[in-house]
Structure 1
Amino acid sequence: MPLDRDLPKREILPIPDRPYVGPTKYNAADPKPEFPPRLPIRPPEGAPNVIVILIDDVGFGASETFGGPIATPTAKELAARGLKYTRFHTSALCSPTRAALLTGRNPHSVGMGCITEMATTAPGATSMIPNSAASIAKILKYNGYSTAQFGKCHEVPTWETGTTGPFDHWPTYMGFEKFYGFVGGETNQYYPTLYDGTTHIEMPERGNYHLTTDLADQAIKWIETQKSLAPDKPFFMYFAPGATHAPHQVPEEWSNKYRGKFDEGWDALRAATFERQKGLSVIPSYAELTTPDKDIPNWLDTPPEVRDALKREMEIYAGFLEHTDYQIGRVLETLKTLDIFENTLIFYILGDNGASAEGTFLGTFNEMIGFNGIEMTEQEQIDIINNHIEDFGTKKAYNHYAVGWAQAMCTPYKWTKQVASYFGGTRNGMIVHWPKGIAGGSRRHQFTYVTDVLPTILEAIGLPEPLSVDGVLQKPIEGLSFFYTFNEPSAVERHRTQYFEMFGNRGIYHEGWTAVTLHSKPWQWYNLPDYADDKWELYFTYAEKPEDRSKEDWTQAKDLAAVYPDKLEELKNLFQIEAARYNVFPLDDRKIERLPPAEGVLRQRYVDGSFVADPVVIDNFNRSFDITAQITVPADISGPVQGVILARGNDFGGFGLYAKNGVLTYVYNYLGLEIFYVRQDEHAPLLPSGTYEVRMEFTYDGGEETGQGGTVKLFRNHGTSDIQLGEGVIPKTNPVIFNVDAFLMVGNKTGGPLCEDLKGNNRFTGTVDWAEIKITGAPGVKSPEHRLHALMAIE
């Protein structure tokens, strides 16, 4: 549609309204003058729809598209007609990658140097994306696009996750007109914590429910509606499912497809993947397979009695990734049905970082066991895994695979997620597909970084970089468009320098060279070395000139630090310059001190129907506390009062106060492994009709130790006095965390039920007028190492 607003004027967003300045008339019936028609804002003619797909925790060597063992037919089909980028890079961690993707700026430039749960006041780690770095969604919305996000959002500061906001950094405030998904690092695929906009919604009650399928359904519905009601408007969709982040959960028909496929173990899998990658030319024929860290056990060194379970862990992950790719395929089929596939620019990014090495060396039935720092012998871990292995992948488990599988998924590179120094943590496969704009079916080897996606989209559409958005002068976009590579396979790469940093792990890429240093391992939480003691390595990873290709070390296998010490010093100095330029300093490996403090609020009161995200719930771990609630039970109620009064957590950890057939009950779910009940005594009267208070008192017996138990007493007030209804013991408790997507609810419990009593409809059949948690003892001593492990692993 022709516009009277040319491109230069799009540098100020929103585009200012132009008032009519021509002649007017007294009577609208007069034939003259005529007012010009109102022209809606639209992007330049022929602008494509844009879809950015970002899968979670997928290593470079996972998908068949990049030589891995897992079928990804949707990705494979896109790559056949599109472009495979073999040197695309992320930040090695979730929140930083996503912030960089959406803003086109380096992670530390927009305050996202780490996950949001570990924010500090340092400019590079506030977790608050500044309004001077407008997202691609906001830029496109102001240029006439419809915008929507489906799936994971891990860019919201934790203090904004409560129901009262503020919502300044939620998707719907960052430019997305529609958001359907979850906020945080991960969620249960069967019982997710879902939001529509900023409003929590109850999970759809479907027996075969799975989050990734639901996200695809919602995305399809949105596309169909958008094209039906606004067919002249292109759309921008960001599709970011929580898959394949832990918990690895998928219907058995998907995981069973891989039965027996990984029987030879992770070392053999790495070798086979490496050969396939060379055959696909996603790595050169002369590339070397790197050696994993010495801490990662060889397959033959794993205990024989647990190997069948280890194999099953990988089978489930493989099914999870294929299922995710299938759901993405359903979304893209909608484009074909609507005849808009040819002019839709698709970025399919297989991983926001390398594969996750956060599942311990044996894997785990419930990743919260490790996050809580529960100490177990190797045999105890094996017993738990073997006893629950048939539950893995189902609603009954919150499982994660072993570190060895994670390293295999990052083939041919060494290291994994969290390690920004090496390609195993930062190199991910990416496919770009756009039939109208790309003569596809080939590979691109130019260096690209996640910040480059935004400027590439703008150039493909024909939009300028905005100078001002919402009246705020914008920081320059730091990414570099790789639009030039779309139809020039041999074009000289333009992104020639890029820093990497995560918890002191540092790296710098510059004109084919990389200098890196390993400061901490994913399973190393404290007693870290001084920065001055870090050993830097040097690699020549890419040669622009064909005659120099034989000198390339594509996989960072040959350390040249001793051969070219001057080059190493040059790159180390360059890292210092880039780090200072982009707010990386101060380097922060204080993996304990930067955690949110355990102390804080000592009382919180909630009303009936409250839904409170876990990061803003009162901290009652390792201490004495009360739950008090005023309830109203109608006289005409049919049968004894039933249902939840207050509950926090889910199937894999939490507690709740509820009524069961008129019996006041407190339940504690310990890591999904054991469930403890304290009920009112048999001779105590059932909860009567009327308005009164009930109370649970928990007296912690652990002193300065964490994760200990305590005594529970149950009360009901009667007139001016209290009646003790029952007493019991909870022998042990979670020391750190219940679950990443745990939440507190009053009067009802949706999502994963805490126990058998709360399955099905558990709404309180009276009214919970209010409920509160009050801390009654001195703060317990919580292991800072365990708190850190929990926060880092949830991203």
Structure 2
Amino acid sequence: MSHDHHARTMLPIPDRPVGGLTTYDAKDPDTSYPQIEPLRPPDNAPNVLVILLDDVGFGASSAFGGPCATPTAERLAAGGLRFNRFHTTALCAPTRQALLTGRNHHSVGMGSITETATSAPGNSSLRPNTKAPLAMTLKLNGYSTAQVGKCHEVPVWQSSPMGPFDAWPSGGGGFETFYGFIGGENNQWDPALYDGTTPVEPPATEGYHLTEDLTDRAVGWMRQQKALMPDKPFFVYYAPGATHAPHHVPKDWIDKYAGKFDDGWDVQRERTYARQKELGIIPAEAELTARHAEIPAWADMPDELKPVLARQMEVYAGFLEHTDHHVGRLIDALEDLEILDDTIIYYIIGDNGASAEGTVNGAFNEMANFNGMAALETPEFMRAKMDDFGSPSSYNHYSVGWAWAMNTPLQWTKQVASHWGGTRNGTIVHWPGGIAERGGIRSQFTHVIDVAPTILEAAGLPEPTMVNGVLQSPMEGTSMMYALRDPAAPERHALQYFEMFGNRGIYHQGWSAVTKHKTPWIMVGGEMPAFDDDVWELYDGSVDFSQAHNLAAEQPDRLEALKRLWLIEATKFNVLPLDDRSAERVNPEIAGRPTLIRGSSQLFYPGMGRLSENSVVSIKNKSFSITSEVTIPSDDVTGVIIAQGGRFGGWAVYFAKSRAVFTYNVLGIHSFTTEADRELTEGTHQVRLEFAYDGGGLAKGGDVSLYYDGEQVGAGRVEATQPMIFSADETTDIGHETGTTVTTDYTTATSRFTGKIHWVQLDTGADDHDHFIDPEERLRVAMARQ
């Protein structure tokens, strides 16, 4: 192995002056300079492929005993190692930021998701520049770097087309290329995508699926990288939106599971548990934990709903198998390039436990629950939609019971950071060039923060002490290399805290103390107990793999010692103050985070688009008006003035046959439309919509009025509104609509306004009865309100 002369603890690596004789004439025979050598990592540094699936519980994948076929995971496990005590943070964005930095999620400001960030350091969603991401370290050491898929680490006030892009993967994240989406989830059939920081549309419409597209991009990038730089290793981070809701997958993948879940989740847990024992995934003495009272028994579910519930699980199983199939295409590409043996692969099957955010009955449109309106999806409605689950007309999620079953044999689910059902994820490490054993199982306690230091050790790279002129704090994870090499090695990651929305726990030398504070599927309403009133439990992990036997009563002194240790760790890593607020944290002013928009008015111009919900003044639970100045051509005018949201909830002001129209779509279930009583004539005009909110609480209705140049031309009624959120992935667009459409009156292709838009102004609050905005005052007033 050649000597590595680079000083790699300071990044970028400082340039050193070239020594030797400087001659006057390049033709002088004494003229000699060393060959320019491109920066490379140390010799034999492997390629790195980190695969992170979304919302997959410990007991879902067949590689860990579950009912969802994952032949690629099984293939990698047969040639590598399975870790059955690998842990995440219980939620997506925190797990991802911890993975990408090697630090605890509160240490890098990601105590929860970006949409609920606060001004507290541990919950700000801001990664300190003292904790540079792994991709940056690898890039500055000579790796090629690419991220494909989900990025949920961008603070919401930095997610607009204007950035800043410091937290974006290809901005300050250390990735030279990024193709994917920003946020927690996306429509698999019609996603909002970015290439770098540029919004782009999906490359195809017919037969398109996001996971396939992401895989195409990842495979294409790896092939090109090896074609052009065969001696340079790469780091690819592949993070599909699958299997996060909505559970979208082609029907033929769903139909493979027809009838396989008709016996319900209680029976499925027993089957998975038996299979896990058979495979050796769990110890022989591991017990199946009991069902909590908050989770209904299958037998207690309404008979008329059971076919729908079974279908929900068929859809999910098809979705996971479909995802694993495309992961297999990545592995095939590595094999075709003859670099599989030289690539360390992490296949992390889930960024948290299975998701229980779909309510007890599941959801055809999960936004119903996020708005506290799940009751709109009655059993009759669900039965009528049964065959549409998984299709482009759905935004679906499965029932709480299935989430619980997918975490077999553990307690609880995603968001519940106290119990292993929220944080334990099956993980496979495959690296034939660096791991001698094939098909082994590792049971050392490990955590997602251990991945980054493992990769650095595998590459022969030190942790940097300085990056871009900023002194770095040490990584908080522990390299797993010792466990990769020796199945009997004592675990080195012996202390780890957990916390999410007040659910908290501590692991120390085999023991765990935990307390569940909040139930994940109660999104709106519900009373939280005081933190000091939470009941703690105690488990001995050396003999109790699944946390089945609470020893709190038998060993109160040990429990108290662990509770104190949790508090010490929480203080050390910025976990405090604990914060279990819900609706308050959605409001930027209360939460204390910046917002792109201030005041009660916002001005838009034609061509603006892909504006996230956090980039637009909220019209929810209040009166508002939309005023636009447009020029109408001589022929019929059609198309969108402004639209927010899409098929599963939103609103739009648009023209149909030269008449102004306003449509408010409630969750894709109810739609309320008001149309002008006459066409708008040729020329330049103001078109105004006014919505007078009924008041008296959240989600109320209101009266609608339409105006041409201050004269009323239409009136209507919206009976109900969405109080919390329109969509997790749809955006606001001016002059057209991207993604799915709010109404079937137009399609994305026909949504472009055929006249000319000069400006659009949104105003919220009490109606001032001024139905026409003076052009000379428009800009001054709008700017004054910012």
Q: TM-score, normalising length from structure 2?
A: 0.94
Supply the AA of the counterpart residue of 2:564.
Answer: N
Aligned to 1:713: 705
1:268 aligned to 2:267? yes
Of 752-761 and 186-195, deviating more is 752-761
1:775 aligned to 2:764? yes
Map Cα deviations across residues 177-221 of structure 1 (whole Å, 9 max, x no partner): 111111111111111111111111123342111111111111111
Of 659-668 and 405-414, deviating more is 659-668
User: 1:560: Cα distance to partner?
Assistant: 1.1
Task: Kindly indicate whether the alpha-carbon contact (under 8 Å) linking 2:624 and 2:767 is maintained by their aligned counterparts in 1.
Answer: no
Q: Separation in 2 of the partners of 1:226 and 1:65? A: 31
Task: Kindly indicate whether the alpha-carbon contact (under 8 Å) linking 2:4 and 2:42 is maintained by their aligned counterparts in 1.
Answer: no
- Pairing partner for 1:750 from 723, 733, 738: 738
Map Cα deviations across residues 579-618 of structure 1 (whole Å, 9 max, x no partner): 1111112222233443325794311111112111111211
Of 601-610 and 413-422, deviating more is 601-610
Aligned to 2:777: none
Q: How does 1:461-500 map to 2 (within 5 A)?
A: 461-500=459-498
Supply the AA of the counterpart residue of 2:535.
Answer: K
Equivalent residue of 1:355, what SS? coil
Q: Separation in 2 of the partners of 1:331 and 1:182? A: 19
Aligned to 1:765: 754
Aligned to 1:104: 102
User: 1:727: Cα distance to partner?
Assistant: 2.0
Aligned to 1:555: 546
- Pairing partner for 1:575 from 566, 569, 593: 566
Count the aligned residue pairs. Answer: 755
Map Cα deviations across residues 564-587 of structure 1 (whole Å, 9 max, x no partner): 222212211211211111111222
Supply the AA of the counterpart residue of 2:766.
Answer: G
Aligned to 2:362: 363
Equivalent residue of 2:661, what SS? strand
Task: Kindly indicate whether the alpha-carbon contact (under 8 Å) linking 2:148 and 2:240 is maintained by their aligned counterparts in 1.
Answer: yes
Q: How does 1:131-530 map to 2 (within 5 A)?
A: 131-172=129-170, 173-374=172-373, 376=375, 381-439=378-436, 440-524=438-522, 526-530=526-530
User: 1:634: Cα distance to partner?
Assistant: 4.3
Q: Would the alpha carbon gap of residues 596 and 211 (structure 1) be closer, same or farther in structure 2, given more than 3 Å must change? A: same
Supply the AA of the counterpart residue of 1:734.
Answer: Q
User: 1:230: Cα distance to partner?
Assistant: 1.8
Equivalent residue of 1:218, what SS? helix
Q: Would the alpha carbon gap of residues 643 and 284 (structure 1) be closer, same or farther in structure 2, given more than 3 Å must change? A: same
User: 1:706: Cα distance to partner?
Assistant: 1.8
Task: Kindly indicate whether the alpha-carbon contact (under 8 Å) linking 1:87 and 1:446 is maintained by their aligned counterparts in 2.
Answer: yes
Of 581-590 and 216-225, deviating more is 581-590
User: 1:407: Cα distance to partner?
Assistant: 0.2
Equivalent residue of 1:376, what SS? helix
Task: Kindly indicate whether the alpha-carbon contact (under 8 Å) linking 1:203 and 1:750 is maintained by their aligned counterparts in 2.
Answer: no
Q: Separation in 2 of the partners of 1:730 and 1:560? A: 55
Q: Separation in 1 of the partners of 2:374 and 2:182? A: 30
Q: Separation in 1 of the partners of 2:586 and 2:259? A: 42
Aligned to 2:556: 565
- Pairing partner for 1:46 from 44, 47, 64: 44
Aligned to 1:688: 681
Supply the AA of the counterpart residue of 1:657.
Answer: V
Map Cα deviations across residues 433-480 of structure 1 (whole Å, 9 max, x no partner): 011111221111111000000000000110001101011011110000
Unaligned runs of 5+ in 1: 543-551, 780-795
Q: Separation in 2 of the partners of 1:154 and 1:121? A: 18
Equivalent residue of 2:32, what SS? coil
Q: Would the alpha carbon gap of residues 254 and 731 (structure 1) be closer, same or farther in structure 2, given more than 3 Å must change? A: same
- Pairing partner for 1:28 from 11, 16, 26: 26
1:614 aligned to 2:602? no
Equivalent residue of 2:203, what SS? coil
Map Cα deviations across residues 256-277 of structure 1 (whole Å, 9 max, x no partner): 1000000110000000000000
User: 1:4: Cα distance to partner?
Assistant: 6.0
User: 1:117: Cα distance to partner?
Assistant: 1.2
Q: TM-score, normalising length from structure 1?
A: 0.93
Aligned to 2:625: 626
Task: Kindly indicate whether the alpha-carbon contact (under 8 Å) linking 1:526 and 1:592 is maintained by their aligned counterparts in 2.
Answer: no
Task: Kindly indicate whether the alpha-carbon contact (under 8 Å) linking 2:360 and 2:401 is maintained by their aligned counterparts in 1.
Answer: yes
Supply the AA of the counterpart residue of 2:656.
Answer: K
Task: Kindly indicate whether the alpha-carbon contact (under 8 Å) linking 2:512 and 2:539 is maintained by their aligned counterparts in 1.
Answer: yes
Q: Separation in 2 of the partners of 1:778 and 1:141? A: 55
Q: Separation in 1 of the partners of 2:84 and 2:767? A: 55
Q: Would the alpha carbon gap of residues 3 and 654 (structure 1) be closer, same or farther in structure 2, given more than 3 Å must change? A: farther
- Pairing partner for 1:643 from 639, 649, 654: 639
Of 122-131 and 19-28, deviating more is 19-28
Q: Separation in 2 of the partners of 1:472 and 1:688? A: 62
User: 1:526: Cα distance to partner?
Assistant: 4.1
Aligned to 1:672: 668
Q: Would the alpha carbon gap of residues 466 and 375 (structure 1) be closer, same or farther in structure 2, given more than 3 Å must change? A: closer
User: 1:778: Cα distance to partner?
Assistant: 8.2
Aligned to 2:729: 741
Map Cα deviations across residues 746-781 of structure 1 (whole Å, 9 max, x no partner): 1111211112112133211222222121114289xx
Map Cα deviations across residues 639-675 of structure 1 (whole Å, 9 max, x no partner): 4122111111010011111112222211111110122
Q: Separation in 1 of the partners of 2:138 and 2:588? A: 39
Map Cα deviations across residues 36-69 of structure 1 (whole Å, 9 max, x no partner): 1211110011111101110000000000000000
Of 759-768 and 362-371, deviating more is 759-768
Q: Separation in 2 of the partners of 1:675 and 1:515? A: 49
1:538 aligned to 2:529? no
Q: Separation in 2 of the partners of 1:95 and 1:4? A: 36
Map Cα deviations across residues 705-761 of structure 1 (whole Å, 9 max, x no partner): 2212222222222xxxx3333222222211221111121001111211112112133
Supply the AA of the counterpart residue of 2:432.
Answer: P
Supply the AA of the counterpart residue of 2:659.
Answer: V
Supply the AA of the counterpart residue of 2:556.
Answer: P
Equivalent residue of 2:673, what SS? strand
Task: Kindly indicate whether the alpha-carbon contact (under 8 Å) linking 2:692 and 2:767 is maintained by their aligned counterparts in 1.
Answer: no
Equivalent residue of 1:310, what SS? helix
Supply the AA of the counterpart residue of 2:392.
Answer: K
Of 691-700 and 167-176, deviating more is 691-700
Task: Kindly indicate whether the alpha-carbon contact (under 8 Å) linking 1:203 and 1:751 is maintained by their aligned counterparts in 2.
Answer: no
Q: Separation in 1 of the partners of 2:67 and 2:372? A: 32
Q: Separation in 2 of the partners of 1:598 and 1:370? A: 24
Q: Separation in 2 of the partners of 1:202 and 1:630? A: 28
Q: Separation in 1 of the partners of 2:613 and 2:581? A: 24
Aligned to 1:782: none
Q: Separation in 2 of the partners of 1:567 and 1:366? A: 45
Unaligned runs of 5+ in 2: 591-597, 769-786
Of 447-456 and 626-635, deviating more is 626-635
